[in-house]
Amino acid sequence: MSAAKAFLAEELTGGMITARDLCLNQPNRTEKSASYGDK
């Protein structure tokens, strides 16, 4: 996940999910499905 997407997710969730959480705790399954649409 790119940093920009992580910060956008943080913004959209009102800080409930932080960019730091996304970067440190990204499950592989979620990461693959999330990035699949970008390619």
The answer, yes or no, to whether residue 4 has pLDDT greater than 80, is yes
Q: CA-CA distance, 33 to 9, in Å (whole number)?
A: 15
Three-state DSSP class for 34?
helix
Q: Which two tokens stand for residue 17?
A: 């999910």
Residue 1 and residue 24 in contact, taking contact as beta carbons nearer than 8 Å: no
Which residue type does 8 have? L
The predicted-structure confidence for 21-34, as pLDDT tens digits, reads as follows 777 776 655 555 55
The pTM of the whole model exceeds 0.85: no
